[in-house]
Amino acid sequence: MSATQARPRLFVALMLEPELGAAVFHAVEPALAGAELRRHAPGELHLTLFFLGATGTDVAERLKVDLAAVAARHTALDLRLTRAGAFPEPGRERVLWIGVDERRAGPLVALQADVEAVCVAAGATREPRTWRPHVTVARRRDEKVGGNAASVPAQFYDTNLDLEWKPKRLQLVESVAGRERAEFVRERYRVVADFALATR
| Domains in the chain: boundaries | 9-196
Q: What is the pLDDT of residues 139-148, one digit of tens each?
A: 987 655 555 4
What per-residue confidence (pLDDT) applies to 3? 45
Which pLDDT band, with edges at 50, 70 and 90, does 152 fall under? Answer: confident
- The whole-chain average pLDDT of the chain stands at 89
| Strand 46-54, strand 37-39: pairing | unpaired
Which range has the top average pLDDT, 125-139, 169-183, 184-198? 125-139
Q: What is the mean pLDDT of residues 55-61?
A: 95
- Euclidean distance between CA atoms 159 and 187, whole angstroms: 25
| 16, 87 Cβ separation under 8 angstroms | no
Q: What is the mean pLDDT of residues 11-39?
A: 94
- Euclidean distance between CA atoms 173 and 108, whole angstroms: 18
Q: What is the mean pLDDT of residues 108-135?
A: 95
Burial (CB < 10 A; 0-12, 13-18, 19+), residue 19, is: exposed
- Euclidean distance between CA atoms 25 and 18, whole angstroms: 10
Q: Is the pLDDT of residue 49 over 50?
A: yes
- Euclidean distance between CA atoms 53 and 59, whole angstroms: 12
| 25, 46 Cβ separation under 8 angstroms | no
Give percent of the chain above pLDDT 90: 72
Q: Is the pLDDT of residue 187 over 70?
A: no
Q: For residue 105, what are the CA distances in angstroms to 91, 101, 108, 136, 157?
A: 30, 8, 8, 21, 25
Residue range 9-196 in CATH 3.40.50.1370 = no
Q: What is the mean pLDDT of residues 106-118?
A: 97
Q: What is the mean pLDDT of residues 32-41?
A: 88
Q: In terms of pLDDT, which residue wins out, 127 or 63?
A: 63
Q: Is the pLDDT of residue 165 over 60?
A: yes
